Structure 1
Amino acid sequence: MFDPNDPLFWILVSFVVFVAVAIYYRVPSLVGKLLDDRADAIRLELDEARKLREEAQALLGDYQRKAREAENEAKSIVEQAKVEAEALAADARKALVETLERRSKLAEEKISRAEAQALSEVRSAAVETAIAAAQEILKARAAGATGETLVTSSINDLRGKLN
């Protein structure tokens, strides 16, 4: 049964020696400990990965919320800008209307002053023309003693008015 020349015998002896050495040096417990340590490390990595995933989801939710808030704020800023632009446009229209009214009034006043000045100049010209005509008529009609009497009385009247 156990023939020392048979290679299977030596394989069996080697196997038994190997198992004995492995048991003597507590290889199964070391392998078990290594496997347990590896399982613990994997468990810790899974726990850490779960925590990181939860943190990432929380950050994603936070960023999504902030993005919505920023979008809402941008919409409110745009709405406020529209309102301010409308108010500025209304103010500009009002200022334009006031400026046009003021310029129209100034133009009307300038026209009325020009009319008054023209009327004054026409009156002045009419008075000068009337005086010249009267002078010519008086020269023609009041010649001689009557003219001298009128000139003397006018000079006396003029002296009285100037003093």
Structure 2
Amino acid sequence: MTGEPKDKDKIGEGSSSGFDYNSTYYLHPSDIPKQLHVNEKPEKGTKEYMSWMRCDAMIKGWLTTAMEKDIRDSVKYANTLAQIYNDLRERLGKESLPRTYELKQKIAATHQDGNSVSVYYTKLRTLWDEMSSILPFPKCSYNDCSCEIGKRLVEFQENEHLYHYF
């Protein structure tokens, strides 16, 4: 490709930028967010640290650009993508108590209101499914357990759903 160094094993050879095009942390202009898979931060002072910083800054930019303003403002002082991720996971993750409360309120406030039965059920089912993903039922962790407590809890939950539905 035009613009790539002639000898890719040498840093910056054939290029005025000094980038290591073979680095795990090299970002090509055509890279998109789903292509990057870098799991560790190199030590400060290593030759890959600056490339890692560029990747981190680029992904932070992609992420914060996609956020709503209120959320973006709450993470703008984070130094790394990992800090943003951990903060958002803590506040908005699957075990989010505020989201659980919100879902329970929505379920309680959902009524048929002249909709067809299938539309009403679909609304409820969507909320129930999200609630199940946030608060899954505990499972027996005893080895070779045959108590079927999970099955009984699911049946209990389905009955609870039916009581709300009717």
Q: TM-score, normalised by structure 1?
A: 0.19
Q: TM-score, normalised by structure 2?
A: 0.19
- Structure with the larger helix share: 1
Higher relative contact order (CA 8 A, sep 6+): 2
